[in-house]
Amino acid sequence: MTGDILKQIINDLIVSELVLADLTDANANVYWELGVRQSFRNGTITIAEEGTKLPFDLSRKGTHFYYPEGDFRNNKFVEDLQEAINKVSSNQCGPDSEILEILSGTRNTF
């Protein structure tokens, strides 16, 4: 890829039907990219390894937790993740961003 990679990342975040964000490592870039995505579009699924401490503003959203490799509970994680992907793909998911909720008037604000 040539050109400004940041512009390409922002473009991809805005135009992609679905974005999957792994919050496990508390990576500042992932949080920034999640903020960009949720400022423009719904269809974001967040995942993290079980035991990950999420920031307050993300902890109340529906993050899907997975377990270390080989843990039998990952079967349920895979089922839940597939269901979330199907909801996004069929436009059955609700708003996943407070910003978009406010802009669309679906929250009682001000």
Question: pLDDT (tens digit, 9 = 90+) per residue, 13-72?
Answer: 999 999 999 999 999 999 999 999 988 888 999 999 999 999 888 876 789 999 999 999
CA distance linking residue 110 with residue 94, whole number of Å = 22
Give the pLDDT of residue 58. Answer: 80
Q: 65 by DSSP, 3-state: which?
A: strand
Q: Is residue 110 part of a domain?
A: no
Count of structural domains, the chain = 1
What is the domain range of residue 37?
Answer: 5-104
Which strand ranges, in their side-by-side order, compose the sheet holding 19-22?
19-22, 44-49, 64-66
Give the pLDDT of residue 107. Answer: 52
Give the pLDDT of residue 62. Answer: 82
Q: What are phi and psi of 77, to 5 degrees?
A: -60, -45
Higher pLDDT, 53 or 96: 53
Q: Is residue 109 part of a domain?
A: no
CA distance linking residue 74 with residue 29, whole number of Å = 26
Q: Is residue 17 part of a domain?
A: yes
User: How many other CB atoms are there within 10 angstroms of residue 96's CB atom?
Assistant: 21
